[in-house]
Amino acid sequence: MIEGDLPGGNVRLHFDDETATRQDIAALLANRSAEAQVYYCGPPGFMAAVGRAAEHWPEGTVHFETFQPPDFDGAPPEPFVIELREGRMVEVSAQTTALAALRAAGVPLLASCENGVCGTCECVTLSGQPIHRDSVLSKDARGHRFIPCVSRATGVLKLDL
Ligand code: FES
């Protein structure tokens, strides 16, 4: 077992299944120094624990990478319409994603995970009511960004495309 600090003192390892090295995440993130940023990635329980512990940290200081789409309430996907900058309307049926509908309409969009976790397909929202179902946008970014591979909308959503 590896325990404690590694040579150089910059990395510490903590093992959740070892009482002696278990980390108290809430205590660790309770107080933030002026320049501190947190970056994290890991299994769902760890992600949730760090997310909860850092809820009071300022916007833009918490960064994470996840490999699992968030759980949803099981509600069926809503049909909606995307309005393009030029005024063209693209229907998104309940059976498809906004990403697929946009591509079918000839709008070229990059994508990678297609699960709402990488941010590659991120678009700018101009107006409308998005229903965010991604796990990549920050609370602040949700006010003006949209993830078309998983997110939906109510009515007409105007995108800067
Ligand atoms: S392609 Fe990864 S978030 Fe949309």
Write out pLDDT tens, residues 95-125: 999 999 999 999 999 999 999 988 999 999 9
Residue 87 is assigned to a structural domain of this protein: yes
- Distance separating alpha carbons of residues 93 and 128, to the nearest angstrom: 17
Q: Is residue 49 part of a domain?
A: yes
CA of 13 to the centre of ligand 1 (A): 31
Q: Are 68 and 48 in contact (CB under 8 A)?
A: no
User: What are residue 24's phi and psi, to 5 degrees?
Assistant: -90, 90
Supply the CATH number for residue 103's domain. 3.10.20.30
107 lines ligand 1 (CB under 6 A): no
Do 59 and 22 share a structural domain?
A: yes
* 49-76 confidence digits (pLDDT tens): 898 999 999 988 988 887 776 666 667 7
Instruction: Give the nearest ligand 1 atom to 99 CA.
Output: 4
In a domain, 69, yes or no: no
Asked whether residue 47 falls in the same domain as residue 87, the answer is: no
Pairwise CA distance, residues 41 & 61, whole Å: 15
Cut 0.95: pTM above it: no
> In sequence order, which ranges of the chain are alpha helices (DSSP H)?
25-30, 44-53, 98-104
- Residue-range definition of the domain harbouring residue 22: 4-64
